[in-house]
Amino acid sequence: MSDEVRNLEPTELWNFFADLNAVPRASKKEEKIIAFIQHFGQKLNLETITDAAGNVLIKKPATAGMEKCAPIVLQAHLDMVHQKNENTVFDFDTQGIEMYVDQDWVNAKGTTLGADNGIGVATIMALLAATDATHPPIEALFTIDEETGMTGAKGLQPGWLKGKLMLNLDTEEDDEIDIGCAGGIDITVNATYTPEKAADNYLSYIVTVTGLNGGHSGLEIHKGLGNANKIMNRILYHVQSLGLRINSVDGGSLRNAIPRESKAVISIPDTNSQAFENSINQISQIIKSELACTDAGLIITALKTNPADNWMPQQLQLSFLKCIYAAQNGVYAMSHVVPNLVETSNNLACVAAGNGQIKILCLTRSASETAKTDLAQSIQSAFELMPAEVTLSGSYPGWQPDANSKLLKHVTAIYTQLNKQQPKIVACHAGLECGIIKSKYPLMDMISIGPIIKGAHSPNERVHIKSVQKFWVFLNEILKTIPEV
């Protein structure tokens, strides 16, 4: 299936993308992809260095006549989000992504595609390998672990980069130029309990929530997509009056992905089993109706299973359900500065409970540092009432827009000339690395661009073929017209 992708135009870019997707590259498991990029730079006889964090920097001299132009940093991240459908048999640690072409799109078979940010990485590789491109001095910066903490960008040392301009290639609309992004903070909830032995006169069920679209917890948080953890909690809360006892809950897997699936093992007194099944059908129809426009594929099931051997203490169970109900999920506040931009949000990303352990993960985002902290502390307060130990960590800054950026004006003029219309100048509700890099290189002028990518962080991820072609032409035109220093 990768062969049809390799034959797309521009072939050099798509071939590097296919090469990348043959290499497992989960966040925090980037050893193979780091070695791959190092070998790539060394094979081209370009200066290739790696810092203590694992970021790789490849330097390419200017082409003839461009030596006096401003050096430019081209930046993308090496890791990708690993998500798959429940019925997809796939080992991300050993297998390459299985791609296919569907009309105007490149997709993956039951998994995330890795276009975020593999298309950006492949684009930079194609420029580094090109012998016919015109460009200023290039510093190609490949960062690690963008998706689960941005530790690569955080580990950058001041002075390592010499470029005064930077193009981040990690946005997902080809008619936009991004000049700002949200910051974020991780919320981790931990609690322990002593399981109680299950009683004999109970029937056990596996309750599942599947078929949701999921997606990027920043860029798609405004769409009102169903959150499997919130839906599961609503279902269990709805039936608790029937004598519900929870054995386990397992929903979501990554902080930055809207959870698509959740599974719970629960028990109900055998005398209430029919009432339970009727109640499940009732709440399922209500939720499906509410999400008919955003998640038409939602499936909720409750099937009898082998009796559970233990369950959560009843008082803790009630606190558990109430705290998750109380925790903010989705859009919290819209920007008063940028029209239609989400300012602050939270993703209730992962809920796992069972065998005496509870762990809940959230990612709170905001363009405002104070609003980010305020919402995180609000969620922290709710879960501490469980009671639970709540840790706030991994905070990273947003990227404040600079409407007077000289690079922005240059790139806007190029886009307008090529496409006969002006681009949209935007800020996004995602965690681009620009904010962190800007904090270390405050004088660096930067923007972010990219092709059309839909469904990032979910198995629905796909990239638009003609948009990649448009992006490639745009980027090359920017580089060949960079002004002299």
pLDDT at 270 over 70: yes
Catalytic residue among 116, 145, 146, 433: 146
Pick from 260, 284, 262, 280: nearest CA to 208? 262
pTM as predicted: 0.82
Residue owning tokens 């190609």: 140
Annotate 353-410 with DSSP letters as a single string: EETTEEEEEEEEEESSHHHHHHHHHHHHHHHHTS--EEEEEEEE--B---TT-HHHHH
Pick from 28, 23, 34, 29: nearest CA to 97? 23
pLDDT at 267 over 60: yes
Asked if residue 282 and residue 225 are part of one domain, the reply reads: yes
Asked if residue 178 and residue 48 are part of one domain, the reply reads: yes
Residues 6+ apart with CB under 8 A from 138: 59, 60, 62, 71, 72, 73, 74, 127, 128, 479
Nearest-angstrom CA–CA distance, 312 and 318: 10
Reported confidence tier of residue 47, pLDDT bands at 50, 70, 90? very high
Asked if residue 389 and residue 297 are part of one domain, the reply reads: yes
Asked if residue 165 and residue 88 are part of one domain, the reply reads: yes
Mean pLDDT on 296-322:
98
Q: Does the residue 361 lie in any domain? A: yes
Mean pLDDT on 239-263:
96
pLDDT at residue 466, as a whole number: 98
374 is a catalytic site residue? no
Q: Does the residue 485 lie in any domain? A: no
pLDDT at 225 over 90: yes
The rounded percent of the chain whose pLDDT value lies above 90 is 93
Asked if residue 357 and residue 257 are part of one domain, the reply reads: yes
390, two tokens: 């709540």
pLDDT at 358 over 90: yes
Mean pLDDT on 76-94:
93
Residue type, 316: L
Point out the domain boundary residue: 367, 396, 425: 396
Asked if residue 173 and residue 40 are part of one domain, the reply reads: yes
Reported confidence tier of residue 339, pLDDT bands at 50, 70, 90? confident
Catalytic residue among 30, 79, 170, 445: 79
Residue 406's domain comprises: 2-182+398-480
pLDDT at residue 451, as a whole number: 98
Instruction: Give the model confidence (pLDDT) of 126-176 as tens digits.
Output: 999 999 999 999 999 999 999 988 999 999 999 999 999 999 999 999 999
User: DSSP state, 456?
Assistant: T
Nearest-angstrom CA–CA distance, 122 and 99: 15
Nearest-angstrom CA–CA distance, 409 and 407: 5
pLDDT at residue 485, as a whole number: 64
Asked if residue 210 and residue 317 are part of one domain, the reply reads: yes
Quote the strand ranges of 211-312, DSSP E: 215-216, 245-251, 257-258, 262-269, 299-305, 310-311
Point out the domain boundary residue: 364, 396, 428: 396
Instruction: Give the model confidence (pLDDT) of 284-298 as tens digits.
Output: 999 999 999 999 999
60 burial (CB, 10 Å; 0-12 / 13-18 / 19+) is buried
pLDDT at residue 1, as a whole number: 52
Nearest-angstrom CA–CA distance, 383 and 191: 10
pLDDT at 345 over 60: yes
Asked if residue 36 and residue 160 are part of one domain, the reply reads: yes
Indicate which CATH number applies to the domain containing 386. 3.30.70.360
Asked if residue 87 and residue 29 are part of one domain, the reply reads: yes
Q: Does the residue 102 lie in any domain? A: yes
How many structural domains is the chain composed of? 2
102 is a catalytic site residue? no
Mean pLDDT on 299-313:
97
Asked if residue 189 and residue 158 are part of one domain, the reply reads: no
